[in-house]
Amino acid sequence: IPNKVNSICCIGAGYVGGPTMAVIAKQCPHLKVTVVDVNKDRIAAWNDECLDNLPIYEPGLSEVVAEARGRNLFFSTDIVSAIKESQMIFISVNTPTKTYGVGKGMAADLKFVELCARQIAEIANEDKIIVEKSTLPVRTAQSIKQILSAYQNGCQFRVLSNPEFLAEGTAISDLLNADRVLIGSEDDELGKRAEEALVDIYSHWIPKERIIRTRIWSSELSKLTANAFLAQRVSSINAISALCEQTGADVDEVAHAIGMDSRIGSKFLKSSVGFGGSCFQKDILNLVYLCRHFNLPEVADYWEQVVHLNDYQKHRFSKKIIDTLFNTVSGKKIAFLGWAFKKNTNDTRESASIYIADELLQDQAEIHIYDPKVSEQQIFSDLEFLQNNRREYHLNNTSQFEAMSMDKIRKLVHVHSDPYAAMHKAHAIAVLTEWDEFKTYDWQRIYKDMLKPAFTFDGRNILSKRMLDEIGFETYNIGKGD
Ligand code: UDX
Ligand code: UDX
Ligand code: ADP
């Protein structure tokens, strides 16, 4: 096992693997970095001459790719050669929630990770360091190690856990100025050598004191715990938002007041229509599954409630729209501003908008969507995925409804590239993503162009309520009582 490496690769060119490797390549010009993926289209997009066509939208990413690509950063579908050539291999493949069999709807599906481990074991012709980047349940490193050692091809392997804490939309700055880098390693001499090799890479730009070294289980569990705590803050403030609406308090004022307490802190207290993204729900469900597995039902129930509350928040928002529009949205035109799960990303996984759309479609609404970065194809694929997996998620409200046909959905859902067209003659507008551009629209013009009464439902509290009230809109905001 080398304690310094000059060639690395990453299996999985997604939202984590792509930006992470691009930044490593930028910061370590001497290091050859190859990113591989089974998905040919995705690799082609990463290699596209035109940087607007990268498969991921992330502020600052195209500049980093422009600088490093072709110099020491390469994207390829040749997984075999990449594994052979690299002394260190990052595994950054997707680990979705299982939609079948044991642990369905709860446990992480590790089949892609397992495949990677087997492939590495088959191909490796010299010692390798394997770095677990994907979010994985505790003790996955053990399973990877077991697979690797079962092949007995004369090579040594050491597994490191190096969870990624970047948030989408701020990935590049999160990677460049990480609060910390966490490395968990096996407690033997070769494990320590592997750890040194990874510390050596990060040391090119991360101050030594921000590189934390732990035992491997602590590292794996810290990733799940960090996401559970972050999600818990959002559910906590969202729970209070419901109470604010009943009592006449204002959730933003409450968040500001409690956030000034340095023990609480001001970040991550923005009340919303519900958290989304590929990580929060999945990681909490993983944690819950692990706790049940280890016979800790009280702990499992505690964390599960964070997901229940998030479902409640999404449901509350859809219900508010239906109730306010005189108890039915059938045949009514509802404009959606935003489809991504947060601003500055084209990622839509678990976005609240999908679930809001679903509840409104069940009530036969006509939905007109505008998002600055999400494609029409993605929106229909999100809605289709939900129809096919409705019963697999044991937790959310969606399982109470029947699946809808895609024909029907295509009749009711329209995707626009011009926001004003999406809002033309609408009964109501729902703001579902906090994109900055929504604040700068000509709201006077939008009001004139809508049916009256003109309703706005601001699921992100980004539009000025006073401005909208003055224009004449009927406004609803999360967590603002009268
Ligand atoms: C609390 C609030 O901190 C304070 O702002 C409010 O005005 C009154 O209630 P207090 O109960 O005096 O203050 O003490 P605090 O330091 O909050 O501790 C409360 C309990 O939590 C103690 O039993 C303490 O041991 C425990 N605690 C606190 C922990 O177990 N772990 C911690 O990390 C912090
Ligand atoms: C999260 C973690 O932040 C990151 O550390 C981890 O590596 C991956 O998971 P991400 O899901 O990309 O990152 O975005 P994040 O900024 O955490 O937002 C998650 C969701 O919570 C979004 O839907 C966002 O809108 C919502 N959110 C966040 C709120 O509703 N209110 C807040 O105050 C913060
Ligand atoms: P994340 O947000 O964790 O990065 P993504 O779904 O964006 O998740 O990216 C994961 C990538 O991993 C996908 O592009 C997928 O094609 C790729 N992938 C999954 N399994 C394998 C595998 N066995 N070999 C190579 N690539 C894989």
Please report which confidence band the pLDDT of residue 482 belongs to, taking 50, 70 and 90 as the band edges. Answer: confident
**375-408 pLDDT tens trace:** 999 999 999 999 988 766 545 667 778 889 999 9
pLDDT for 20: 98
For residue 260, give both structure tokens. Answer: 């000034």
Side chain identity, residue 191: G
Each domain of the chain, given as residue ranges in start order, spans: 7-206, 226-477
Respond yes or no on whether ipTM tops 0.85. yes
- Going across the sheet that includes 474-477, the strands are 413-416, 366-370, 333-337, 428-431, 455-458, 474-477
The superfamily in CATH containing domain 226-477 is NAD(P)-binding Rossmann-like Domain (3.40.50.720)
What is residue 300's three-state secondary structure?
A: helix
For residue 260, give the ligand nearest its CA: 1
CA of residue 263 to ligand 1 center, whole Å = 10
CA distances from 39 to 44, 45, 93, 163 (A): 9, 10, 11, 23
CA angle 275, 277, 283 (to 5 degrees): 90
Integer-rounded Cα Rg, in Å, for the chain is 24
Please report which confidence band the pLDDT of residue 432 belongs to, taking 50, 70 and 90 as the band edges. Answer: very high
d(CA 363, CA 161): 46
pLDDT for 134: 81
Tell me the binding residues for substrate.
164-168, 223-227, 263, 270-276, 341-342, 460
CA of residue 79 to ligand 3 center, whole Å = 12
pLDDT at 10 over 60: yes
Helices (H), 203-325: 216-247, 251-259, 280-293, 297-324
DSSP-assigned letter for residue 398: G
What's the sign of the alpha-carbon dihedral 320, 324, 328, 331? negative
H or E segment to which residue 197 belongs: helix 189-202
How many other C-beta atoms lie within 10 A of the C-beta of residue 305?
16
CA of residue 192 to ligand 3 center, whole Å = 28
d(CA 53, CA 68): 17
pLDDT for 395: 54
d(CA 300, CA 317): 27
Of 169, 251, 240, the C-alpha closest to 458 is: 251
Please report which confidence band the pLDDT of residue 108 belongs to, taking 50, 70 and 90 as the band edges. Answer: confident
H or E segment to which residue 412 belongs: helix 406-412
Average pLDDT over the chain reads: 95
d(CA 24, CA 175): 9
What is residue 11's three-state secondary structure?
A: strand
Active-site residue among 9, 10, 28, 279?
279
pLDDT for 192: 96
CA distances from 453 to 87, 99, 287, 428, 461 (A): 64, 43, 46, 9, 20
Q: What is the DSSP annotation of 158-175?
A: EEEE------TTSHHHHH
- N- to C-terminal Cα distance for the chain? 65
Of 89, 132, 81, the C-alpha closest to 1 is: 89
Q: Identify the residue whose C-alpha is closest to ligand 3 atom 19.
A: 93
Of 91, 59, 13, 57, the C-alpha closest to 174 is: 59
Best substitution site from 162, 341, 432 to test ligand 2's pocket, by max atoms within 8 Å of Cβ? 341
| 226-477 matches 7-206 in CATH topology | yes
d(CA 18, CA 463): 33
pLDDT at 430 over 90: yes
pLDDT for 82: 97
**436-448 pLDDT tens trace:** 999 999 999 999 9
CA of residue 82 to ligand 2 center, whole Å = 32
pLDDT for 393: 59
d(CA 319, CA 333): 16
State the greatest distance between any 2 C-alpha atoms of the chain, in Å, as a whole number.
Answer: 75
How many other C-beta atoms lie within 10 A of the C-beta of residue 152?
8
pLDDT for 154: 86
pLDDT at 32 over 90: yes
What is residue 334's three-state secondary structure?
A: strand
Give 439's contacts (C-beta < 8 A, 6+ positions apart): 462, 463, 464
Give 400's contacts (C-beta < 8 A, 6+ positions apart): none
**340-381 pLDDT tens trace:** 999 999 999 999 999 999 999 999 999 999 999 999 999 999
The domain 7-206 is placed in CATH, from the list 3.40.470.10, 3.30.870.10, 3.40.50.2300, 3.40.50.720, at: 3.40.50.720
Please report which confidence band the pLDDT of residue 139 belongs to, taking 50, 70 and 90 as the band edges. Answer: confident
**226-264 pLDDT tens trace:** 999 999 999 999 999 999 999 999 999 999 999 999 999
CA distances from 252 to 16, 257, 267, 270, 338 (A): 31, 9, 12, 7, 21
Q: Identify the residue whose C-alpha is closest to ligand 3 atom 16.
A: 39
pTM: 0.95
d(CA 135, CA 282): 9
Tell me which of 63-72, 397-406, 430-439 is least confident.
Answer: 397-406
Question: Is position 116 annotated as part of the catalytic site?
Answer: no
Best substitution site from 179, 180, 234, 267 to test ligand 2's pocket, by max atoms within 8 Å of Cβ? 234
For residue 295, give both structure tokens. Answer: 């016979």
